[in-house]
Amino acid sequence: IDQRGVIATVDFSRNGRLLATAGADGTARIWRLDPPSLLHELRRHTGRVTDVAFSPHRVLLATASNDATGLVWNVARGTLRSNLLGHRGYVNSARFSSDGDFVITASRDSTARVWTAKSGIAESVLAGHRGAVVRATFAPDGTRALTWSDDGTVRLWDPGIRPELREIGRHGGAVTSVSFEAGAGTMLTAGLEGVARLWRGGRVVRTFSHGAPIVDAAISGEHRLVVTAGSDGVARIWPLAGGESGVLRHGSPLTAVALRSGRVATAGRDGLVRVWSVPEGESLGSLKHPAPVLDVAFDSTGGRIATAGADGIGRVWVDGRIVHQLDGHTDDVTSIAFGPNGGLLVTASRDHSVRLWSAETGAALRIFGFHFAIVNEAAISSDGRWIVTAGPSRSGLWPVRGARSAVFLRGHEGPLQSATFAPGSHRIVTGGVDGTVRTYTCEECGRIPALLRLAEQRLNQARER
């Protein structure tokens, strides 16, 4: 067998009849061993091929390269099946899961990533190492992954995300909002077809017809109200007990609405946030911005208001004054939300990033940059430990602190508009432009930090022996 140059590594198929070689010339080759002959020459990488791996059933071959990509090939045809794009440094290794459905790659960018083999969709980003990730592999059962790095650590990863694979409802247009009534098990969804729906136990118990596309909606169990915000510049107040809706006329197309402690805040493309009393509907003042306001949120007490601007700036307001200006995004801030105790803020942006801030000081705490397109919304779980995001095609889940593992939730057929946690749980609800509302359960959300601590503890014990 002549690879014509330096061979970085080789891999045998499980039945021993095929051999794959990784070449320093940027070419991978698949060889038949009996009789010895070249089956396919795989030319697509633009740098040295660093690793090759057959899938368990010999259907696919994964290759890794120092061109920062991984590729998945059809073994029988020698054709490219999918591109694994997203790493920002040399890809050192690529390995299949035991069922052949997933590939895990290790990179010099200090991350490992899990991909769907046939589509190339990134499912998880495992970030926490402080040096290049040398190798990454799946456990035999396929539920966990092991990585080791130049930083001297070995890490065990168990994202624990289980899609319920249940579409709980469908709107006639894009779903623009998903929210909950705290402690009541009641969910409110809204869509561009102009209808909001109230759900209990997976069933629609009431609908609200706004008369124009609904861009946002909010619910208050305390005041027994639903508020819908329309592109017609009107917010409507709906008593849950029934009856006619009240009308709040903002004066320009609305982008968002928030409801807390007897007050409603409406955000508009005119750069104003207007504050109203409910259910009276009296104007309590306005907050002026130099650009359209794309989102608005109250803290848990209703004493602070946070706004997201099309000028790339988030702002925190108290009594009509700016107390913190959140600078850092390089494009529109599409979403802003307080954490459960009001100590944290999370923002999402068209610049593809999500940022975490101190709501007390306005200081930037962390950047989550693993989405590859506009992030439409971000929310913090009720225990303050997790962030869920609505991204270009999937929802992402991120721990607020500790090892930065990102998990992407599949199911929607297009971009997501909304993602949030159900109060007091790790149930995630997402809404997409495909009109669907989906639920996911993060059973392991409380266990990942413990698993990582246990893995590091065992590594330290092994070093001491």
383-439 pLDDT, tens digit each? 888 898 987 767 778 888 765 556 777 666 677 888 888 876 677 888 888 888 888
In CATH, what number does 163-446 get? 2.130.10.10
pTM here is 0.68
CA-closest candidate to residue 141, choices 125, 119, 158, 155: 158
Instruction: Give the pLDDT confidence of 283-322 residue by residue, as tens digits.
Output: 999 999 999 999 999 998 899 999 999 999 999 999 999 9
Please give the Cα distance from 37 to 419 (Å, whole number).
53
Please give the Cα distance from 244 to 273 (Å, whole number).
25
Q: List all residues 6 or more positions away from 286 whose beta carbon is below 8 Å from its beta carbon.
A: 272, 273, 274, 275
Please give the Cα distance from 296 to 317 (Å, whole number).
11
Q: What angle (nearest 5°) sits at the alpha carbon of residue 384, between those of residues 381 and 386?
A: 55
Helix (H) or strand (E) holding 161: strand 161-170
Check pLDDT > 70 for residue 143. Answer: no
Q: How many CA atoms lie within 13 A of 340 on its CB side?
A: 16
Structure tokens at 429: 């609800």
**What pLDDT was estimated at residue 303?**
93
For CA atoms 413, 419, 423, 428, the dihedral sign is positive
- According to CATH, the superfamily of the domain at 7-158 is YVTN repeat-like/Quinoprotein amine dehydrogenase (2.130.10.10)
Region of poorest pLDDT, from 131-140, 263-272, 327-336: 131-140
Please give the Cα distance from 71 to 53 (Å, whole number).
11
Amino acid identity of residue 144, one-letter, is R
In percent, the amount of the chain with pLDDT more than 90 equals: 52
Q: What is the mean pLDDT of the chain?
A: 86
**What pLDDT was estimated at residue 180?**
83
Structure tokens at 131: 């040096």
CA-closest candidate to residue 176, choices 440, 433, 438: 433
Instruction: Give the pLDDT confidence of 26-69 residue by residue, as tens digits.
Output: 999 999 998 889 999 999 999 999 999 999 988 999 999 999 99
Which residues of the chain are in CATH 2.130.10.10 domains?
7-158, 163-446
Structure tokens at 15: 């039945």
Instruction: Give the pLDDT confidence of 62-117 residue by residue, as tens digits.
Output: 999 999 999 999 999 999 999 999 899 999 999 998 889 899 999 999 999 988 89
